[in-house]
């Protein structure tokens, strides 16, 4: 006969037995049994067995992918609208900075404090990054966050916590004398790097635009 409230029984073979819920599958309880020579032995074994049971994740929790999985889906979604070089740039930022820290975390487990600490370490780590680089990396986190929310995944941080202080920098313009020294040096070393600097110097073109130049971008006008 079972002791009241304990669910511990003495079997016909003289042994004591108790059952307990070990896990759940498809919404149904899965039971396990322990046996012993006495009531107290079985009760002790049951307590030990139940203490070793790991808490089960809820169905909604287990369905949440980690940041690494979401970042792969996010990059795939960009391939039809971004240049291959942009995808490579984003992928490198993920692999080098973001995934080593947050790759195995679910988005819901990343807090505002985690992001603030992450940004601070980008500024003060062994390989200190510029304001622009840190801002770009945090921008990738914001984009991944937006993608996760659109697709119904839980997120534990807000974009407002990821701010990069913008420092006002004074841009120094070359003097005429310095410009002439630079021109003489570029003419003495006629390679592709010198050509790029000359184009920037005389056209005001930006570095990104310079790198995207092709021969089709250049038109030569001839006077009749």
- And the tokens for 158? 């807000």
| Residues in CB range of 98: below 8 A, 6 or more apart | 67, 71, 137, 140, 141
pLDDT at position 58 is 47
- Specify the pTM: 0.52
Q: Where is mean pLDDT largest: 7-16, 46-55, 158-167? A: 7-16
Q: How far apart are CA 98 and CA 90, in angstroms?
A: 10
From the number of C-beta atoms within 10 Å of its C-beta (0-12, 13-18, 19+), residue 74 rates as buried
pLDDT at position 9 is 79
122-129 average pLDDT score: 71
Among 26-30, 44-48, 68-72, the least confident range? 26-30
107-117 average pLDDT score: 90
Q: Which residue, 100, 61, 93, 96, is CA-closest to 74?
A: 93
pLDDT at position 59 is 45
Q: How far apart are CA 15 and CA 171, in angstroms?
A: 87
Is the pLDDT confidence value at 120 over 70?
Answer: yes
What are the start and end residues of each CATH 1.10.150.130 domain in the chain?
Answer: 67-161
Q: How far apart are CA 186 and CA 178, in angstroms?
A: 12
The residue behind tokens 């993608």 is 147
Tell me the pLDDT tens digit for each residue of 5-43.
Answer: 467 878 888 898 888 777 655 456 677 888 888 888 888
Q: How far apart are CA 22 and CA 108, in angstroms?
A: 27
pLDDT at position 209 is 81
Q: Which CATH number fits domain 67-161: 3.30.70.940, 1.10.10.10, 3.20.20.70, 1.10.150.130?
A: 1.10.150.130
pLDDT at position 29 is 63
Per-chain mean pLDDT for the chain: 82
172-196 average pLDDT score: 89
| Residues in CB range of 138: below 8 A, 6 or more apart | 115, 119, 162, 164
């Amino acid at each position: 006969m079972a002791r009241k409230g304990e669910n511990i029984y003495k079997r016909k073979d003289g042994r004591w037995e108790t059952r307990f819920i070990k896990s759940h599958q498809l919404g149904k309880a899965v039971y396990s049994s322990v046996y012993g020579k006495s009531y107290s032995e079985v009760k002790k074994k049951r307590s030990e067995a139940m203490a070793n049971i790991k808490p089960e994740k809820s169905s909604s929790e287990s369905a949440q992918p980690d940041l690494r999985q979401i970042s792969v889906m996010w990059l795939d979604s960009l391939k039809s609208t971004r240049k291959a070089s942009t995808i490579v740039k984003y992928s490198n930022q993920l692999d080098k900075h973001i995934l080593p820290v947050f790759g195995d975390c679910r988005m819901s487990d990343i807090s505002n404090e985690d992001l603030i600490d992450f940004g601070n370490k980008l500024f003060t780590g062994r390989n200190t990054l510029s304001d622009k680089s840190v801002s770009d990396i945090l921008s990738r986190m914001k984009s991944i966050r937006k993608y996760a929310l659109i697709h119904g995944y839980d997120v534990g941080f807000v974009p407002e916590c990821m701010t990069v202080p913008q420092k006002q920098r004074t841009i120094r313009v070359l003097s005429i004398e310095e410009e002439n020294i630079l021109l003489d040096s570029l003419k003495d070393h006629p390679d592709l790097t010198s050509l790029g600097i000359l184009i920037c110097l005389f056209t005001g073109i930006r570095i990104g635009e310079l790198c995207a130049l092709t021969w089709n971008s250049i038109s030569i006008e001839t006077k009749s």
